[in-house]
């Protein structure tokens, strides 16, 4: 059973397009996250979402918006894609006070 799953695994799209990446977790966790990993392998938090409370990293452009239809899903929607958005995007989830985040397999986004 996959604990945190993301789709698609690979996404190639043109500049200016709008795209979404889906994430689902079956761990029963109450907090979900989106991270961006750049070409230098630096993982940086974009959003965390807990019980309808959204915490946004202030450096994230407002073209990025998370959408959570329910506790088990946190999708990432990106408007007007730019070349610099090319990266691997990881979804993660955690429960309560443990702080241990479990990661999905990542979505490699390439903007051409």
Partner 1 sequence: EDKVVQSPLSLVVHEGDTVTLNCSYEVTNFRSLLWYKQEKKAPTFLFMLTSSGIEKKSGRLSSILDKKELFSILNITATQTGDSAVYLCAVEAGSARQLTFGSGTQLTVLP
Residues of this chain that bind partner 1 (CB under 8 A): 4, 31, 33, 35, 40-45, 48, 50, 55, 57, 90, 94, 98-106
- In whole angstroms, the minimum distance from the beta carbon of 88 to partner 1 comes to 9
- In whole angstroms, the minimum distance from the beta carbon of 51 to partner 1 comes to 12
- In whole angstroms, the minimum distance from the beta carbon of 47 to partner 1 comes to 9
| Joined tokens for residue 61 | 């452009």
Whole-angstrom CA distances from 35 to 1, 10, 22, 60, 93 are: 22, 16, 13, 11, 11
């Amino acid at each position: 059973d996959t604990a945190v799953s993301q789709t698609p695994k690979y996404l190639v799209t043109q500049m200016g397009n709008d795209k979404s990446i889906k994430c689902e977790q079956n761990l029963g966790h109450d907090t979900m996250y989106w991270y961006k990993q750049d070409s230098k392998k630096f993982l940086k938090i974009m959003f965390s979402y807990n019980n309808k409370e959204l915490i946004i990293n202030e450096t994230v452009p407002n073209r990025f918006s998370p959408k959570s239809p329910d506790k088990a899903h946190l999708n990432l929607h990106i408007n007007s894609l730019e070349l610099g958005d090319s990266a691997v995007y990881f979804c993660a989830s955690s429960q309560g006070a443990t702080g241990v985040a479990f990661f999905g397999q990542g979505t490699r986004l390439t903007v051409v």
